[in-house]
Structure 1
């Protein structure tokens, strides 16, 4: 994994520096307070090929043994379409997002409604429904 320069804007496009946004979650210095923060940090982790973080942020009931991350996949932009629950005092929530990518000459959008749960104060990704 190659982390962006700490002062550079975060890959999730929050407008915050990486070190103050997803970087603190990736390093383990902090935990995401909301489902949306976890979603953003997962997007950045995919862009950085950070398999360790992605597996750590995945709920044990649905977590794969490993991930097959493609270094040729370029994640370009994340748009949060909407959220339902997923706040600091909720136990579950959903985040609908569009993640734009380029893979070789192909460009596309992953549009998903992701489900999250919070256990012992920590958010985890459970699964998602890909939308057309």
Structure 2
């Protein structure tokens, strides 16, 4: 598993880009994890910008990552998705808690 909250954020972005909902669910805190996850189709993820981090090191139990992910739609339009994500430790591993 990831050594920092930012590393987990980056691996979760890769899972979105590759269409791997099993990984996303596995790295989601059990108290906030949905029963199932259907990834939206029609987007090609083109890049991730980490805008800010707080905590989330190997020495912390909580952390945040603010990011902007870039995508293109099937019809060629560009867009972004931004989020301030919260991460925490669960059974020793970093997991995604929630985002706004």
Residue segments in structure 2 that go unaligned for 5+ positions in a row: none
* Alignment partners' CA distance in 2, 1:59 and 1:40: 17
3-state SS of paired residue (2:24): helix
CA distance in structure 2 between the partners assigned to 1:42 and 1:57 by the alignment = 8
Q: What is the TM-score normalised by the length of structure 1?
A: 0.72
The reply on whether 1:86 has 2:73 as its aligned counterpart is no
Q: Map of 1:15-54 to 2, 5 A cutoff?
A: 31-54=1-24
Q: Counterparts of 2:14 and 2:89 in 1: how far apart (Å)?
A: 20
- Residue matched to 1:62: 32
Write 1 or 2 for the structure with the bigger share of strand: 2
Q: How many residue pairs are counted as aligned between the two chains? A: 99
The answer to whether 1:75 aligns with 2:39 is: no
Separation of aligned partners in 1, 2:62 and 2:49? 21
Question: What CA distance in whole angstroms lies between the structure 2 residues aligned with 1:89 and 1:78?
Answer: 25
Q: Deviating runs (4+, > 3 A) in structure 1?
A: none
